[in-house]
Amino acid sequence: MGNAASPGPGSGRRILVTGGAGFIGANLVRRLLADGWAVRVLDLLVTGRKEYLDGLDVEFVAGDIRIPEVVADALTGVDAVAHLAASGSVVQSVADPASNFSTNVIGTFTVLDQARQADVRRLVFSSTGGALIGDATPPVDERSVPRPISPYGASKMVGEAYGHAFAKSYGLHTVSTRFANVYGPYSGHKGGAITVFFKALHADQPLIIYGDGKASRDYLYVDDICAGIQLGLTADVPAGSVYHLATGVETTVTQLADACRRVVGKPDHPIEFRPPRPGEVNRNFASYDLARAELGFSPTVGLDEGLARTWHWYLEHVL
């Protein structure tokens, strides 16, 4: 398990969270505040929602991560960065690869370059496991050869590469965290399977599954992913490190649909199958052994419990 680097949470450090008004950001910001961080959020509010931060002691900056001057200003006085801002849809990246490149590659480069110039101590980059590795026999891990099959996966691969290069060339202490499929509260604006399933269940519409239902993912509750990010910010690990944050559990789309139906109390709700969509990985789940050994990371929330928490949040805030 990694040892906390000095100074750690609670010591008054200031952190910039890019994309902090988004799904993961809204959860991470709350945890960082609880740990005593002073938090500044930079978000363009394309998909994020400022109301997710209502009532929180957060400094909010509306701005674009692709503009160096905006990022430089947001980094003033900052010790660490959690870089979450991204165009996160595989499907949209296939439809509009140029837009995905602009946000995820140019934006990430800009954040890294400005962080280097601002002498930021630590930067955690939010990467991806499945989309970056591509089609490979799971479980995948940090030794798996990346062969992305979508522009989104390629953009995250580039971000990791620049993170490692900046660590070795400039001494910027970067850590890349490869996310499993994250779900949980504050995801009502997202287009992932769980959001779509819950909305369909509430509206008494069929659950739509693309493909034969055997495609699989590794589903990680948002509190666990945020805990992994926090460990990446403080653990005594080498600059340029890469870690999979996952559960190691393979869940097919059909199994996910069944779990959602079970949590909502509609176990016989109809399912409709449609042709698969291009750019999406068939099977994926990941080993988190390295993250456990070096970061001290371990998931704590099982799928049914996490889905139940998410469903209750949706009932209160979305549906």
Q: Name the residues annotated as catalytic.
A: 152
Determine the Cα angle at 108 with ends 284 and 117, to 5°.
140
The CA–CA distances, whole Å, from 71 to 49, 96, 271 equal 19, 25, 45
Report how far residue 1's alpha carbon sits from residue 183's, in angstroms, rounded to the nearest whole number: 26
Dihedral sign of CA atoms 116, 88, 91, 149 in order: positive
Ranges of beta strands (E only) in 249-292 are 251-252, 271-274
**Cβ neighbours around 28 below 10 Å, total:** 30
Measuring CA to CA, how many Å separate 302 from each of 132, 246, 248, 298?
Answer: 24, 12, 11, 12
Q: How far apart are CA 297 and CA 166, in angstroms?
A: 25
Report the relative pairing of strands 58-62 and 207-210 from DSSP bridges. unpaired
- For the chain, the C-alpha Rg in angstroms (whole number) is 19
User: What are 244's two structure tokens?
Assistant: 């999979």
Q: How far apart are CA 231 and CA 118, in angstroms?
A: 22
The neighbour count for residue 266, using CB atoms within 10 Å, is 14
